[in-house]
Chain A
């Protein structure tokens, strides 16, 4: 049974393996160069300034196309597995009528399905894991610089979650194939369904795995401010504090009473800002502030000084050291969902397809 399932799956497996090998070779050839770029930039920064703060490391822009490709692959490969390994798994047999051959051999449907799901499911998880391993390794010098692996976009391309995504996409494909009994619609639904689940989990479920840390932070009047003016209504923002590899849920300006600066308050606190006929947006960033006119610049700094004297920032975030716990939670979530789908498939193939 296992040998025959493998025979049926062999061609698809070889295509997958070939893809992995090609990508692996490309990453192996280009990876050392990234490490070199990173190391020499770090050495240069140390030599010139005696520190890394504010030093721009060119490694983040090196091999830009390959970076995009590698990230895209980690995103796309699980859903490709769902569409090309999962959806046809049962649907093809139902379409071509070979299920009548398979289900009348001396093997129960339950076992037939469990072996197929187990074999190809395992292969899916292995492909996801290898892909993640290769790309995480290749990206490690870049990650050291960007320090944002906890961000919604980056989290799913690191660690072991890609393996669980691949497993889940496969299970979703197999289930839709079983329900629709046609490969093509099952592929389309798998594509849409997988993207929807990933987005929902990343945006709404993942932040709640653990209750976030809340911290009050003093504002630095010299960096990271923005004042916006739209239709004459003022609002002010401040960049959250630098928390490498943390997941910032929210960062709000509040006073001692816990209230945010209102437009009316800003009108009073910052009377000299350019009026509605002036430039719509005044921005400040980094060490200094950019403004349209010297008078505007002065008014801007004055405004920020006033605001930072009365307000502080409340940052809600998941600290960087929770990264692996979150990886474990999300992996468990997707593995459990895959197991539930597989259980449903087994029930359906015994009860409903007869």
Chain B
């Protein structure tokens, strides 16, 4: 099986702090992958490892079955739009297109020009005078016109207003629709990804929480509401992600292998956002638990 991204025990450390650790991940080709997590969770680190801007401190990572940025050929296979969509402020849009053409052997000049024309941008305009949305579109143009097999986008819409956000994601989807390309894009907002992704990775606190196809995640997660009950008494195959209890009632978000058969529960289906938020909260409470343990040891 060939993987778009194959990480084994992947970790990146800055001094004593791990920005990403113990990451095992295998993403099959042909997906639009959403990488979700709060700010500082390690999303950028993971993406930079994937495009070869960073080297791992632990474990290994392969992208399209090769080491990231191993050589010019491998670089040509991966397109990248960095956070805040950096461009050369003093150079014009036309200069950027020349840049793309010179730096990439498979450059699709017709596609680039057609995209710039569709955005109604003047090629003589300097990149520094573009709006955030226009700059993001320019960066996306540079990334797609190199005709990559994998397109990686780091928070491409984080700084855009809702309209520009929608337009950006729309043009991204147009590109995905008419080509054989895999996409990984990160965001701290699930809503951005819900529309475009069919595969989700949740990263919290520098650790991978869950990864899988959206349909599988939706099918395997349920909210159970019923009389108060100890989570330990659930059958094996049902893992509690999030729980809350009142005197009489328990609400649990569980991952389950098969259907929930216990008639005491009211079983509700979940949205992707519910599931992602549950995993974020899960990681959060796990961290608090670790913190408490630490305190107890101290006292």
Query: CB of B103 within 8 A of chain A?
Result: yes
Which B residue sits closest to A107, measured CB to CB?
A: B103
Whole-angstrom CA separation of A96 from B90 in the bound complex: 12
* A8 at interface, CB cutoff 8 A: yes
Q: Scoring A residues 3 to 19 as 1 if CB is less than 8 Å from chain B, else 0, what string do you get? A: 11001100100000000
Q: Is B75 touching A100 in the complex (CB atoms < 8 A)?
A: no
Q: Does B86 contact A (CB under 8 A)?
A: yes
Cβ-closest chain A residue relative to B107:
A106
Chain A residues near B214 (CB, 8 Å)?
Answer: none
Q: Is the CB of A354 within 8 A of B72?
A: no
| A44 → chain B closest CB, angstroms | 57
> B90 to chain A: closest CB distance in Å?
8
Cβ A106 vs Cβ B72 within 8 A: yes
Select which of A1, A96, A108 is within 8 A of B75 by beta carbon.
A108
Min Cβ gap B79→A in Å is: 8
Q: Which of B53, B55, B80, B98 lies in contact with A3, CB distance below 8 A? A: B98
CB atoms of B84 and A105 under 8 A apart = no
Q: Tell me how far the C-beta of B254 lies from the nearest C-beta in chain A, rounded to whole angstroms.
A: 40
Contact of B102 among A1, A11, A98, A104 (CB under 8 A): A1
CA A105 to CA B90, docked complex, whole Å: 19
For the A-B complex, the count of residue pairs with Cβ-Cβ distances under 8 Å equals 74
Interface status of B91 (Cβ within 8 A of chain A): yes
Interface presence of B54 (CB below 8 A): yes
Q: Do A354 and B54 touch across chains, with their CB atoms under 8 A apart? A: yes
Which residues of chain B in 27-59 are interfacial with respect to chain A, using CB atoms and an 8 Å cutoff? Answer: 51-55
The reply to whether B105 and A106 contact each other, CB–CB distance below 8 Å, is yes
Q: 1/0 per residue B86-107: CB within 8 Å of A?
A: 1111110001001110111110
Instruction: Answer whether residue A103 sits at the interface, using C-beta atoms and an 8 A cutoff.
Output: yes
In the bound complex, residues from chain B placing their C-beta under 8 Å from that of A101 are 82, 86-88, 139, 142
Q: How many residues of B contact A (CB 8 A)?
A: 34
How distant is the Cα of A12 from the Cα of B82 in the complex, in angstroms? 27
Decide yes or no whether B71 CB sits under 8 A from chain A.
Answer: yes
Contact A107 B99 (CB under 8 A): no
| A107 x B53 contact (CB < 8 A) | no
Which of B79, B95, B98, B102 has the largest number of chain A CB atoms within 10 A?
Answer: B102
- Do residues A106 and B75 form an inter-chain contact, with CB atoms below 8 A? yes
Residues in A neighbouring B86, C-beta threshold 8 A = 96-98, 100-101
For the complex, what is the distance from the CA of A136 to the CA of B79, rounded to whole Å? 52
Contacts of A97 in B (CB 8 A): 82, 84, 86
For B96, the closest partner residue in chain A by CB is: A101
Structural contact, B72 and A104, CB atoms closer than 8 A = no
Contact of A354 with B55 in the complex, beta carbons under 8 Å: yes
In the complex the two chains form, is B52's CB within 8 Å of A354's CB? yes
CA distance A54 to B79 in the complex (A): 76
A7 near B98: Cβ-Cβ < 8 Å: yes
- Flag if B91 contacts A354 (CB, 8 Å): no
Tell whether B184 is near chain A: CB-to-CB under 8 Å.
Answer: no
Chain B residue at minimal CB-CB distance from A11? B90
B136 proximal to A (CB < 8 A):
no
Most buried by B among A11, A98, A106: A106
Complex Cα–Cα for A288 and B288 (A) = 95
Bound-state CA distance A100–B91 (Å) is 16
The chain B residue with its CB closest to the CB of A352 is B55
Cα–Cα distance between A102 and B82 once the two chains are bound (Å): 11
> Within residues 294 to 351 of chain A, which ones have a CB less than 8 A from any CB in chain B?
none
B103 touches A108 (CB 8 A): no
Q: Which residue of chain B is the closest to A101 with respect to CB atoms? A: B86
Q: Is the CB of A106 within 8 A of B103?
A: yes
A104 to B51 CA separation, bound complex (whole angstroms): 7
When distances are taken between beta carbons in the complex, the residues of chain A under 8 Å from B105 are: 106
Contact, CB under 8 Å: A98 / B103: no
B106: nearest chain-A partner, CB-CB = A106
B146 at the interface (CB under 8 A from A): yes
Q: Give Cα A243–Cα B73 distance, bound, in whole angstroms.
A: 63
Provide the residues of chain A in CB contact with B144, threshold 8 Å: none
CA distance A108 to B71 in the complex (A): 6
Give Cα distance in the complex from A109 to B74, angstroms. Answer: 13
Asked if B87 and A98 make an inter-chain contact with CB atoms under 8 angstroms apart, the answer reads yes
The answer to whether residues A106 and B146 also contact, given A7-B98, A97-B86 and a CB cut-off of 8 A, is: yes
**Residue in B54, B82, B90, B104 whose CB lies within 8 Å of A106:** B104
A4-B80 in contact given A96-B86, A101-B139 (Cβ < 8 Å): no
Contact status of A104 and B78, CB under 8 A, knowing A1-B103, A4-B99, A354-B55: yes
Asked if B76 lies at the interface with its beta carbon under 8 angstroms from chain A, I say: yes
- Closest Cβ of chain B to A233, distance in Å, is 61
Contacting pair B51 A8 (CB below 8 A): no
Return B52 CB to nearest CB of chain A, in Å. 7
10 A-B residue contacts at CB 8 Å? A1-B103, A4-B98, A7-B98, A97-B82, A98-B88, A103-B53, A105-B103, A108-B69, A111-B72, A354-B52
Closest A-B pairs by Cβ, 4 of them: A105-B103, A106-B76, A100-B82, A97-B86
- Please report B residues at the A interface, Cβ cutoff 8 Å: 51-55, 69, 71-73, 75-76, 78-80, 82, 84, 86-91, 95, 98-100, 102-106, 139, 142, 146
Apart from the given pairs A4-B103, A108-B75, 7 other A-B contacts in the complex at a CB distance below 8 Å: A97-B84, A97-B86, A100-B80, A104-B82, A106-B104, A106-B146, A107-B103
